[in-house]
Amino acid sequence: MKILAAMSGGVDSSVAAAELVRAGHDVSGVYMKNWINEENIIGHCPWEEDITDAEAVAQQLGIPFRVVNLMTEYREKVVKYLLEGYQAGITPNPDVMCNREMKFGVLWDWAQEQGFEAIATGHYARKAFSVPGSQFPVFNSEPGTEDSEHAIYRGADPNKDQTYFLAMMQPQQVRIAQFPIGHLLKPELRERARELGLKTAEKKDSQGICFIGQVKMEDFLRTFVPDQPGPIVNLEGKVLGEHRGLHLYTLGQRKGHGVASPIHKQAYVVVAKRPQTNELVVAIENADTPLLWARKATLHSISSTGLPLNEKRLLQAQPRYRCPAGDATFRPLGDGRAELEYKEPQRALTPGQICALYDGERLLGGAVFETIQHA
């Protein structure tokens, strides 16, 4: 296949490209230039260094490499979504939208024009297709047949699995997606990079916003959204301090709000944001803290990676990255909405956050939390 490998300058995408070359595909590397930090946001935005590293790896692998400028599209499809979400008092996820709108959206449109058949990324996820008449998925980098059903499964490394960030992908995007490193554990991947002598073999993983680098979300937001100070109150309405703006906090947050707890080893946690009064509500965290735990929620913008999610069913729902997926009942309401009822109470379900939906290891799709029904 003629495959375009999205190379961020990190070790994961470097090894992903190497795996494709080893498999005999016609591979080209590309760096998505999304951000150059013209606003001088606090934090390291090493796009020039990343491009240099990605190009060096491409040269080592003997594949063509180019940089594609997508800054305008990134601002429109990801940055705008991010800022509007936080300003509306919800918690968006730019990494999820970057995958759907940019890597497998805008970049794929460009790739098709160049004659590519698929796009590969360095996500820890496994791609599979089902053969008609067989109940077992085939984990393979080949495209399958025209009538094959394509699916995404959790990566083999449970500590690095990144399928959560792929939850809003469309079926046609899943079909052209390749995840060459999903079968590897992180230590195995590092070892392969060393064996190949790749420049990025020892490079640290990025923890910043999608394709922006080591930029903290708070610093990013404060550059574009002015502070709007207001009171921090407890559940009884007593003022405990002052916040800098509701958009800088998220439900379930234990640190960074500046309110010290009078109880040893029990912290104050953010349980609500009240835009009408500009109040940030905190409470001492325990197993029955009001407004912190919930079993029921409504979802909107339901997106399926395969067959439509239009019937009541049991599934596993993951409310955020680095959080276990809990057993839940999914009840469609129509118009892209559904009711989700967890078997066990969940901590800090948050409007605006992405909820990834699974059937065991298989990613079914995702949705956005709309309202939370507290006990």
In this prediction, what percent of the chain has a pLDDT beyond 90? Answer: 82
pLDDT of residue 219: 80
Confidence band of 309 (pLDDT split at 50, 70, 90): very high
| Catalytic status, residue 323 | no
Does the domain made of 226-284 have the CATH classification 2.30.30.280? yes
Range(s) within the chain of domains with CATH label 2.30.30.280: 226-284
Residue 246 is classified by DSSP as G
pLDDT of residue 304: 97
What is the CATH code for 293-374? 2.40.30.10
Please check if 118 is assigned to a binding site: no
Confidence band of 224 (pLDDT split at 50, 70, 90): confident
Q: How many residues does the chain have?
A: 375
**Which element (helix H / strand E) includes 11?**
helix 11-22
One-letter identity of residue 371: T
Q: Is the pLDDT of residue 177 over 70?
A: yes
Please check if 6 is assigned to a binding site: yes
Residue 106 is classified by DSSP as I
Please check if 157 is assigned to a binding site: no
With H, G, I as helix, E, B as strand and everything else as coil, classify residue 299: strand
CB-based burial, 131-157: b 16+ in 10 Å, e otherwise: eeeeeebeeebebbeeebbbbbbbbbb
Confidence band of 222 (pLDDT split at 50, 70, 90): confident
| Catalytic status, residue 98 | yes
Query: Topology of domain 2-195, per CATH?
Result: Rossmann fold (3.40.50)
The model's pLDDT over 294-304, given as tens digits with 9 standing for 90+, comes to 999 999 999 99
pLDDT of residue 47: 79
